[in-house]
Amino acid sequence: MLYPSDAPQSADLFARASEVIPGGVNSPVRAFRSVGGTPRFMTSGKGALMTDADGREYVDLICSWGPLLHGHAHPAIVEAVTKAAQKGTSFGTPTENEVLLAEEIVARTPAQRIRLVNSGTEATMSAIRLARGFTGRSLVVKFSGCYHGHVDALLAEAGSGVATLAIPETRGVTATQTAETVVLPYNDPQALEELFTQRGDEIACLITEAAPGNMGVVPPVDGFNQLIRDLTARHGALMISDEVMTGFRASAAGWYGIDPVEADLYTFGKVMGGGLPAAAFGGRADVMDLLAPAGPVYQAGTLSGNPLATAAGLANLTLSTPEAYEKLATTSTTLQGMTAAALYNAGVPHRIQTAGTMFSVFLFADGVELAQVTDYAAARTQSAARFAAFFTELLARGIYLPPSGFECWFVSTAHDEQILDRIDEALPYAAGAAAAVG
Ligand SMILES: Cc1ncc(COP(=O)(O)O)c(C=O)c1O
């Protein structure tokens, strides 16, 4: 099966969207800027498949950029959301499901208190404010290639869409804001130690992706998260572990389940919302209890802990059993093997990197051999042209990858053997297309 390269219905919708929505999309990563072509407008999804406005079916390897751990329209999630909607969509008062969701997160992670919000961006923004309120300091440390949402202070050298679109600096972020953010290379213990030696007493917090997935998957080298833990503790700064992507996906307890370094604060999102807008930040009780109304750090939200979102999140986590993670791990490993085989057979230099059940694929130009991608500089040596060719061929064959080589591939428990066979059939053609780019 080979879909035509044009997609008339999506193209028409995209033209209309471009008149009323900047760039035609509501989040830059949805655009096809770095791979070419028209973003596909989806109309429905079921399990591992989604269907676009032209009636074409795709195997989904984005899974809504992570949340859909059990595929599209899982009956248990649909039922939970439907039932919640029938009882009322929002109250602006506390509800029981907020307690249940917070309890579930506390049970799975070291966080002692949880505050629910609507997006990962809100979670990281609030965690940073809290860290500054707790320490009375202003400096924030982040790593290049890590993405923590579009928080002003955190956009410097960010991964994800900022990396894909190669935006050197985001206009609108003031010099004062960037002056309070220090960006370090990832996986560089020496740079980290030097900064803490020089400015340790100014640092409010260091925020890191627990295992980065926004410059492609670039896991921490052995002991790196522990070094962050030790240095922040020694200098009175807080460690914020951003588990928005890894949380409840890399393992049942997120990256913490694999690399059990205890942070002071955590941010969560994606899987915990089951495909609806829910996210959270949480952590040490003594820090979290500084939040209003318990304490003086203000943070609020009209729709925080929304009944539909908490219902979806709870249902998603209830489905996320040890067996589910085993299945995800097998699917992820099988898909990695198929992809590696196709690329190897086509002679495309590549590297596949994993973080628990998460993984991504770096394609390189001929002659570029990297034993490991350990930081953003290395991630940027991948071949965008090769990735574009690989992506475009897969799309034509009904396989929907994230439209950027800087993004993680996401699978779900709905990706079964039949689905994997479909991908396996398409991969050699995509690898051939990538090889042809040179
Ligand atoms: C690690 C990480 N943190 C924060 C965010 C921001 O989350 P949201 O897009 O829900 O604002 C993302 C989004 O991809 C993420 O991957």
What are 55-67's pLDDT values in tens digits? 999 999 999 999 9
Is residue 272 in contact with ligand 1, taking CB distance under 6 Å? no
Q: Residue 2: inside a domain, yes or no?
A: no
Q: How far apart are CA 335 and CA 342, in angstroms?
A: 11
User: How close is the Cα of 269 to the center of ligand 1, in Å?
Assistant: 7
Q: Give 147 Cα–ligand 1 centroid separation in angstroms.
A: 7
119 pocket-lining for ligand 1 (C-beta < 6 Å): yes
pLDDT digits (tens, 9 = 90+) for 248-261: 999 999 999 999 99
Going by pLDDT thresholds of 50, 70 and 90, the confidence category of residue 176 is: confident
User: For position 17, what pLDDT does the model report?
Assistant: 97
Same domain, 326 and 309: no
Domain boundary pick from 297, 319, 341: 319
Can you tell me which atom of ligand 1 is nearest the CA of 246?
1
Report how many domains make up the chain: 2
Q: Is 242 in the pocket of ligand 1 (CB under 6 A)?
A: yes
**Domain-located, residue 211:** yes
> What is the CA(103)–ligand 1 centre distance, in A?
22
For ligand 1, atom 4, the nearest C-alpha belongs to 148
Take atom 13 of ligand 1 and give the residue whose Cα is closest: 149
Residues 71-74: contacts with CB under 8 Å, at least 24 apart:
71/45, 71/46, 71/47, 71/412, 71/413, 71/414, 71/415, 72/44, 72/45, 72/46, 72/47, 72/48, 72/414, 73/44, 73/45, 73/46, 73/47, 74/47, 74/315, 74/316, 74/319, 74/414
Minimum CA distance residue for ligand 1 atom 7: 120
205 and 79 in a common domain:
yes
Task: Please write the tens of the pLDDT for every residue from 405-423.
Answer: 999 999 999 999 999 999 9
> Considering the domain boundaries, does residue 184 fall inside one?
yes
Q: Please compute the mean of the pLDDT values over residues 204-216 and round it to a whole number.
A: 98
Q: Which of 30, 62, 148, 241 to mutate to test the pocket of ligand 1 (most atoms within 8 A of CB)?
A: 148
Say if residue 284 is in the same domain as residue 338: no
Protein residue with least CA distance to atom 16, ligand 1:
245
Q: Give the structural domain span for 417.
A: 8-61+322-437
Q: What percent of the chain has pLDDT over 70?
A: 100
Would 165 be classed as within a structural domain? yes
* Alpha-helix residue ranges (DSSP H) falling in 92-218: 96-108, 120-135, 161-164, 175-179, 189-199
Q: Is 359 within the bounds of a domain?
A: yes
Q: Would the CB of 245 count as within 6 Å of ligand 1?
A: yes
Residues belonging to the active site = 147, 242, 270
pLDDT of 206 > 90? The answer is yes
CATH code (residue 333):
3.90.1150.10
Instruction: Let me know if residue 237 belongs to a domain.
Output: yes
Q: Report the CATH number that the domain containing residue 161 is assigned in CATH.
A: 3.40.640.10
In a domain, 174, yes or no: yes
- Dist. CA 122 → ligand 1 center (Å): 9
User: CA-CA distance, 193 to 179, in Å (whole number)?
Assistant: 20
Cβ of 148 closer than 6 Å to ligand 1, yes or no, is: yes
